[in-house]
Amino acid sequence: MSQFDWKHALKQAEKMQSERRLTLSTQLFDWVKLLNQVFEDPVFRANLGLKDDIKAGKWLDGYVVEDTGLEFLELRAVLLRFPRKEDWIERQSPFKMYQTIQEEHREANRQQPKFARTTATVGQLQEAERKVRHAEAVARNVETKAKTEVAEVRAKAEQAVKAAEVKVERVKTEVETLRERCGALERENAELRAENARLKEALAKARRKATKKASV
């Protein structure tokens, strides 16, 4: 028995699509069965690092024709529920078969006790995954916004510090200028006092001479 070649199987699936050979339910059955063989192939999983079923299913979505209205994991659910080609011939539409599966799940859930734990459907898992991706995107946006705001606050703070430093330097310069001016005024005042003392001494001498002459 030859070993399964997942790459060759995918080429066969693409060929079936390109040749428009998916118009009958029997052809769709063979095509989905082929893709499911790829999905379950451990070599395929190992080569592409697709250990998680959801990720592997998403990867195979690229090979699913849009006409079915279903994703790969949904088509796989149909295949597992209706594994006989006769079922596909009888029911015709994979989409309708998937609707049957959903209705069966809903009915089973209705019949279970309220405290019973229900099994998540493929659609519920995909919706949960979508919500997780959305939450991660929101978290990244919040983080980016927070970093931007922190950077802006930091820039404003640095500008304020620089402005304060400039102002302090200006005040220091003004104080130093005032000190120099004060020293100059003190020196000028000392000179004026000395000059005033000399004038007083000269005036006193002149008065003494005048008094002396008057007495003679």
DSSP 1-12: -PPP-HHHHHHH
Q: Is the pTM of this model over 0.85?
A: no
Q: Are 24 and 83 in contact (CB under 8 A)?
A: no
Q: Indicate whether 67 belongs to any domain.
A: yes
List, for residues 129-162, the tens digit of each pLDDT value.
767 775 675 457 446 454 656 467 577 758 876 7
- Does residue 86 lie within any of the structural domains? yes
pLDDT at 39 over 90: yes
User: What's the CA gap between 58 and 91, in Å, rounded?
Assistant: 26
In a domain, 75, yes or no: yes
Alpha helical stretches, state H, the chain: 6-18, 25-40, 42-48, 53-60, 72-81, 85-91, 94-111, 122-215
Determine the Cα–Cα distance for residues 90 and 83; give it in Å rounded to an integer.
13
Q: Is residue 47 part of a domain?
A: yes
Query: Is residue 96 in a domain?
Result: yes
Looking at the domain assignment, is residue 98 inside a domain? yes
- Supply the range of the domain harboring residue 99: 6-119
42 part of a folded domain? yes
Q: In the structure, what pLDDT confidence band is assigned to residue 181 with cuts at 50, 70 and 90?
A: confident
In a domain, 107, yes or no: yes
The domain total for the chain is: 1
